[in-house]
Amino acid sequence: MRRLLLILLCMTRVSLAQESPSGKMPGRSDLAAILSFEAEPSAGMPGGWGGGPPGTVFADDKVVHGGRWSARIERNTDSPSNFSTITKSIPMDFLGKMIELRGFLRTEDVSDFVGLWMREDGESPALAFDNMQSRQLKGTTAWTEYSVTLPVHPEARQLFFGVLVSGTGKAWADDLQLLVDGKPVWEAPEPKTALDFDHEFDSGSGIPINKLTDAQTQNLVTLGKVWGFLKYYHPQVTTGQRHWDYDLFRILPAILEARDRSAANAVLLHWIASLGAVASCNPCAKLEEGDLQFGPDLDWITNAAVLGADLSQKLRFIRDNRLPGKQFYVSLSSAVGNPSFDHELSYPTLKIPDSGFQLLSLYRFWNIIEYWSPNRNVLGQDWNGVLAQFIPRIAMAKNADSYNQELLALVARAHDGHSNLPGSLLDSRPPTGKCQLPVNVRFVENVPVISEFQSADLTNRGELKIGDVITELDGVPVSKLVETWKPYYAASNEAGRMRNIGRFMTRGECGESDIAVRRENLQVHYTVKRVPAGNSDPVLPTHDLPGPTFRLLSKDVAYLKLSSVKAADAAHYIDSAAGTKGLIIDIRNYPSEFMVFALGSFLVESETPFARFTFGDLSNPGAFHWGELMSLSPQKPHYSGKIVILVDEISISQSEYTAMAFRSAHESLVVGSTTAGADGNVSHFVLPGELRSMISGIGVFYPNKAATQRIGIVPNVIVNPTIAGIRAGRDEVLEEALRQILGGQVSGAEIQKMAKP
C-alpha cells in the first residue's frame, strides 16, 4: 500500500506545463454529470476526469450501470506503470465530519485489485487516504456498489478521488456520488470568513484621487509594499481574520493626508498595532536553503532611512515570527504546485472611477508578481519603479477604457506571455475597433507581412497579395504605430509581442481603410474594407501543414502535427512511422491534447530527464525552490529514426514544454525560430471590475537548470521565414527539417515539393 500511495502522489504531477483550472469547485450540475460519467467525453476519456497512463482509460457506452456512459480502465501486460487511475480533484472549501465516495464497480479478470480511492492534501500530502486495497476486489465481478470514507481533516485544502486498477484486467465505474455527512458535496456548508461579514465598502471605496504630489506617490508606494507584505506575512491576514481589501480603504485616507514620509510611516505603524500583537512563534517558519533558487526580496523592510526605525523593526519582527505554511489568500495546487489565488474578490459591480479600488488592482497585481511569480528574477526591470510609475496612472484613470488600458500596460510590464487581461478587455487595447482587414499578418524580417487571407472570398481583399509588406495604415507609418502599441502588449519576449501585434494591428472602425504596401520594389496604395473582427481573443493561428495529422512526406520522412493530435493514437503514429529515416514533429501550433508522456515515451531508449521546476513557498512568500527532475520512461513501440521538432513564435507554454521533452530523445533536433518564452502551468486570479488575469505559476528549466522563461526553446538550427518565401508559398522551416533528415542527396526542388501542402 505504501508503494501505491507514493505512486498516486507522484501521478498528480504528470500534467505539468498545462493550464490549470481556477481551483473552484464545479457547479452542481457539472459535478453531478462528471461523477455519473454523463459529461461529454474528451479525446475518448470520461468528461471532466484526468488520469492515465494514456491508452488505459476510456469512456464506455457499451457497458454501463446507468445513463449513457461509464468509465472503463483496461490494462494488459504491455500497459505502462503498475496501475491506472481516473482522477478528479476539488478544493476542500466545505465543512463536515465525514466525506464519502460511493459508486458502482464491475470487474473482469483483474489480477491485483480494483478500488475507489480518496486522498486529502494540505501542506503535507496524504493527510488522509484510502484506496480499498485491503478489500482485495479482483477477478470478475458484477456491478456492485462500494464506498470509501475519510474524516474531513481540518488542515486539508484539496481532495483527490477516483478509481484505480492495479495489475491487469478490466474494470468499469459508474454512478459515483461524493457525499459530506450523507449529502452531496455541493450542499455542504462553506466556512465563514471575514469576507462574509465585512461589507463596509461593498458600494465603493469612497476615495477620489484627482491629483497626487510626489510625496503622496512616495507614501502610496510604501503603503502598497507594506499592505502586500502584511497580506502574506501577518497572522491576522494569513489566517483569514481580516478583509484585507477593505482594510486598505480604511488606511488610504490617512496615508493621502500625511504631510510627509515620517507622518505616513507613523500612520502605518499605528495601523499595524491595531491588528493586534504578533506572538513570538514556536516553531517559526524557516527558509530551507538546500534547494533554494532565490529567496524573498525583503531587504526593503530593513531600510530605516525610508521606513523609520520603529516601522522597520515592526516589519522585521513580523517576518521573523511568521507561522509555517499558513495563507488565506493563496494556496499551492496539490496537483502541480502552482499558486491558487483564493478568496480574491472580483467586485463585478465596480463603477469607475473609484480610485481606492483602482489602487487595489495595482497593489494586488504588483504583489502577486512580487511574491508568487517564479520568474520575478528575470523581469528585466526595477519592479519597485513600476509600482511608483503606475500609482498615478491607475489611481487617476477617469473612465473604464483608461483604467483598462493602464492595467494592460501594467500587466505587460511583468514580461510574462501568460499574463494578460483576455476577453472583451482587449477591446481597450490599441488599435481599437470592431473590424479588421481580412488578412493575417506575420512579422517577417522585422516587418509586417500579409501571410494569408482569412477567407477564400475575394470581395474585401481588393488587390492585396500574399507577401505584401504593410507600410502604412490610414496614412500613418506602421513603424510609428507599432511603437505606440507595444507598451500594451503582454509577452515574455519580442517574438511573442510582435506575434500578438500582428494578429490585431489592422483593427479599426468598420468601413473603408487606406493601406500602403511594399511589393517587390513598388510602393502601392489600396482602399480595403474592414470586416467584423469576431472574437476579441481569437485562438492562435498555426504554421503547420493543412490536412491530416499524420502523413508520409516521402518513404523516408514521416510528419506529425500536434494541432490535431490524439493521445490515444500515439502508438499508432509511431507504428506508421516505422522504417522511416526521420520523424518531423510540428509544434508550430498549440497541441490539441497533452502529448509529453503519451508520445515522448516512444521516443526515448532509457529513462530520460528533460525538465525541472521551481515552486513557491507558503511559509516564505517570495521564495522559490527547486523540484525534482521530470523524466520520460521508455515504452514500445520505440521510434529509432531521427527526430526533428519544428517551433516558432506560435509555440507557447505546453508547446514549449512538449518541445523540451521531445528534444531530450536521442538524435533529436529543434529547427525553427524563437518561441514565445512562457512555460509552466498558469495560475488565474481576478482584479476589481471582474477582470481576469494569470501568471506563469511554476518555473520551467532544463535538467541542468538552464532557463526557458523569456528565452524560449532555442533551436539547434535557426531558420526564419523570409518575405520571398512567403510570396512563393514556401515553408522554409519544414524544408530545412527535410534537409536535416535526407541530407544532400535530394535536390532543392524535391525538398520544396515535399514541403508543399
Q: Is the pLDDT of residue 155 over 90?
A: no
* pLDDT value of residue 4: 40
Q: Is the dihedral of CA 131, 132, 136, 138 positive or negative?
A: negative
| 68-127 pLDDT per residue, tens | 999 999 999 888 888 999 999 888 889 999 999 999 999 999 999 999 999 998 766 778
| 312-342 pLDDT per residue, tens | 999 999 999 998 888 999 998 866 889 999 8
HEC assignment per residue over 221-287: HHHHHHHHHHHHHCHHHHCCCCCHHHHHHHHHHHHHHCCCHHHHHHHHHHHHHHCCCCCCCCCCCCC
Residue 647 in contact with residue 357, Cβ under 8 Å?
Answer: no
Q: Which residues contact 196 (CB under 8 A, 6 or more apart)?
A: none
Percent of the chain surpassing pLDDT 70:
94
Q: Is the pLDDT of residue 736 over 70?
A: yes
User: What is the rounded average pLDDT for all residues in the chain?
Assistant: 92
What's the average model confidence in pLDDT over 136-163? 94
pLDDT band at 43 (very low <50, low <70, confident <90, very high): confident
Q: Which residues contact 55 (CB under 8 A, 6 or more apart)?
A: 79, 567, 568, 570, 571, 598
The least confident of 15-24, 138-147, 725-734 is 15-24
Q: Which three cell numbers stand for residue 626?
A: 527547486
* pLDDT value of residue 27: 59
* pLDDT value of residue 23: 42
Cα separation of 620 and 611, whole Å? 24
Question: Can you name the residues that pair with 45 across neighbouring β-strands?
Answer: 42
* pLDDT value of residue 29: 67
Cis preceding linkage at 634, omega within 30: no
Q: How many C-beta neighbours within 10 Å does residue 606 have?
A: 9
Q: What domains does the chain contain, in order, with CATH numbers? A: 2-187 (2.60.120.260), 196-427 (no CATH), 432-532 (2.30.42.10), 550-755 (3.90.226.10)
Against a cut of 0.85, is the pTM above it?
yes
Cα separation of 184 and 196, whole Å? 23
| 406 SS3 class | helix
* pLDDT value of residue 22: 37
| 347-395 pLDDT per residue, tens | 999 999 999 999 999 999 999 999 999 999 999 999 999 999 999 999 9
Residue 228 in contact with residue 360, Cβ under 8 Å?
Answer: no
Cα separation of 540 and 676, whole Å? 12
Q: Are strands 137-151 and 98-121 parallel, antiparallel or unpaired?
A: antiparallel
Greater pLDDT, 7 or 494: 494
Percent of the chain surpassing pLDDT 90:
83
| 376 SS3 class | helix
* pLDDT value of residue 16: 35
What's the average model confidence in pLDDT over 710-714? 97
Q: Is the pLDDT of residue 535 over 80?
A: no
Residue 440 in contact with residue 453, Cβ under 8 Å?
Answer: yes
pLDDT band at 299 (very low <50, low <70, confident <90, very high): very high
Cα separation of 478 and 490, whole Å? 19
Q: Is the pLDDT of residue 645 over 70?
A: yes
* pLDDT value of residue 360: 98
